[in-house]
Amino acid sequence: MYNWQHKNWPHFEFDDSLKEKELMDFMLKAGVLKGVVSALPNDISNETIVQIMVAEAMKTSEIEGEMLSRIEVMSSIKNNLGISANPLAKDKNIIGLSRMLIDVRNSFSEPLTEKKILEWHKMLMENNKKVNAGVWRKHKEPMQVISGSVSNPTIHFEAPPSTQVAKEMKEFVDWYNHSTIKNPLIKSAVAHIYFESIHPFEDGNGRVGRAIAEKALSQGLNSPVLFSISRAIEANKKEYYTELKNGQSGLAINKWIEWFISVIVEAQESSERMVRFTIKKVHFFDKYDSQINERQRKVINKILEEEFFKGGMNTKKYISITGASKSTATRDLQDLVEMNIFKSTGGGRSTSYEIIL
């Protein structure tokens, strides 16, 4: 029996006094994070927001098994924000996802409407020829979340039939806008499981549902969130589907709420680390930018862009990034070591370099 089949649906059962301490910590950290980002130089502040949005775009798609080009995602987001006038993105799905995420941020303070949810879905899916974009699902077949083989599938959840979707979504939007839940962490958790249980679209429910969870948090903060929920969910994807499945088996959702809030806290802490890292980058270039050549700058930016360059830098990677000759790459790397920008480990062909921040 699924939650929507209970006679009290959609009246979820939970303790709305849960996580008071977590809420206080969340609000305090959110205020500090907003202040720090606002105090950064304008170009660095914009870049930080872009990085957060890129993480959200990449990870909300990865949760659904879609791998996107980071370069195209960043280009599309910058173009839609008006930061870059020459977008490199060619993938129309990336362009649509970027538009949706930016609209989620820009419209965070507005009431949620059925029209807005349909607009987000159209942005997200209008280039997918297999999906009816911007409309509620209408097919007669059951909407099921399954895994396993076609011949022996495991049904994790079955959503309400398509004939009920319009009514369910009207009630969902009414609940969202008139909810008495004061804790935005709890409201975000309830909104997400409520929306996912209706599963109103043929595809794209997860991405739109996470956007609604973000909106609930942003409204609680009275400012767009400065972290990626999807990044934290993707890192705990197996648990996410397990907890969602368990939560959808009935109307008592305290355990789901506790788990979802723990993910939000993890997302916020991850963003704090990223902002601290960004500040270190600013100080780093303030100190060394005049001492390094264009090749070295390109490599260092590449390392810092990926935060902690996996496996460290080596001569082969340096040549691949810059197109320099082996002798030039070796000399550049040695110069960086002598300037105390890089430190080397190993020796001979196995020599690798790590940046010192």
Task: Note the pLDDT tens digit of each residue in 59-82.
Answer: 999 998 888 888 889 889 988 888
Secondary structure class of 278 (helix, strand, coil): helix
Q: What average pLDDT score do residues 159-166 get?
A: 97
Domain ranges of the chain: 3-275, 292-355
Q: Hey, what CATH topology would domain 292-355 get?
A: Arc Repressor Mutant, subunit A (1.10.10)
pLDDT-derived band at 349 (thresholds 50, 70, 90) equals confident
- Bridge partners of 342, per DSSP, are 355
Give the rounded percent of residues in the chain with a pLDDT score beyond 90: 66
Cβ–Cβ under 8 Å, residues 165 and 137: yes
More confident: 102 or 277: 102
Output the average pLDDT for the chain: 91
Q: What is the 3-state secondary structure (H, E, C) of 108-165?
A: CCCCCCHHHHHHHHHHHHCCCCCCCCCCCCCCCCCCEEEEECCCCEEEEEECCCHHHH
Give percent of the chain above pLDDT 70.
96
Summarised one tens digit per residue, pLDDT across range 227-239 is: 999 999 999 999 9
**Is this model's pTM higher than 0.75 or not?**
yes
Q: Which of 303, 34, 36 is nearest to 314 (CA)?
A: 303
Fold entry, domain 3-275: Fic-like fold (1.10.3290)
The pair of structure tokens assigned to 270 is 């991850």
The answer on pLDDT for 308 being more than 90 is no
CA atoms within 13 A on the CB side of 223: 14
